[in-house]
Amino acid sequence: MVLDLIMLGALGFVLEFLLQRFGYIVLPCSPFAYMSLVIMFIAVTRWNLWGLLLAPLMAFATVWGGSLGDVNDIAATYNWQAYISILCGHLMFGVNYAFYRKDTSKIITSNIKMIGIIVLDYILFNLMQLFVYRLLTSNGDLFHQGVREVVKNSNGEIINVVVYGERGFVYNLFAFLVMLVGAFVFRSQGVVCNVKQKFIDDKRNAELDRIDTEFSIEEAKSENPDTSNNSTDVEGEDSPIQNENVEDETTDSFERKKSSED
């Protein structure tokens, strides 16, 4: 588990950081995710609540990469408030465990159910991110937007960057598409699965295959007589040629005995 989470976290961190660092060239909006949502979805699916250990790492990759952007008003949005709000949003993926507890495979193998889980994750992620971000930027007043002014480098216009931070439902649509498409692609490669359950299922299937093979062998033996016993019986019987040789040898010995008596 540890090695699997380390590899998954390292891959997600590098991709998220690089896309945040240079993604503003294509999508100049903030703060939003690229790969972190699909990584969190896969991690929780594979290891249940243990997958939430990647939440701080992925949130840090998002904020660190975004803060290095060249556009001042966008980069300024990636601050400690954005980090905490994104982190709390990632923790909402733990809700998936409520659906995975009985049988993860029934959820993952069903297209409709998996899409439903992904949509739910996207809604909860953005709601929690908005709630925490508003809480941190408005001094606890959830009904009023906070104010944090930043001067643009391009034309000196003063803007309120908090506005950017509260538009996650729109800015994160790209991450939603990445999570949706990525989930189906990785599922086809056997990556989106509960590792423990898959190990148990593979072991059970291997045992069933072994039993089925043994049953087939026993069934074949019952349908066909044992050729080894037949071959033994054939070897034990004297052939006609052998019987004739024995009779000739007996006749010769009797004639020699008779001539000697004469």
**Domain shared by 138 and 213, yes or no:** no
Any domain includes 198: no
Among residues 151, 170, 193, the one where a domain terminates is 193
**Domain shared by 226 and 167, yes or no:** no
Q: Give the helix/strand (H/E) hosting 160.
A: strand 158-160
The owner of tokens 């803007």 is 159
The answer to whether the beta carbons of residues 96 and 121 sit under 8 Å apart is yes
pLDDT tens string, the chain, 262 residues long: the values are: 888 899 999 999 999 998 888 876 666 665 678 889 999 999 999 988 899 999 999 999 998 988 887 666 677 788 888 899 999 999 999 999 888 877 787 888 889 999 999 999 999 999 998 888 888 888 776 777 777 666 665 666 777 777 767 777 777 888 899 899 999 998 888 888 877 776 676 676 677 777 777 777 777 777 775 554 554 454 444 445 555 554 555 555 555 555 555 5
**Domain shared by 122 and 240, yes or no:** no
Any domain includes 241: yes
Among residues 141, 162, 193, the one where a domain terminates is 193
Q: What is the pLDDT of residue 117?
A: 93
**Domain shared by 156 and 217, yes or no:** no
Angstrom distance (rounded) from CA 125 to CA 123 = 5
Q: What is the pLDDT of residue 228?
A: 47
The owner of tokens 């506005």 is 163
Q: How many CB atoms lie within 10 A of CB 96?
A: 23
The owner of tokens 């009779």 is 247
**Domain shared by 211 and 188, yes or no:** no
Q: What is the pLDDT of residue 251?
A: 56
Residue 154 structural domain: 2-193
**Domain shared by 58 and 165, yes or no:** yes
**Domain shared by 103 and 211, yes or no:** no
**Domain shared by 182 and 212, yes or no:** no
Q: Considering its fold, how many domains does the chain have in total?
A: 2
Q: What is the pLDDT of residue 21?
A: 82
The CA-atom distances, in angstroms, between 210 and each of 156, 197, 204, 220 are 74, 20, 10, 15
Q: What is the pLDDT of residue 232?
A: 47
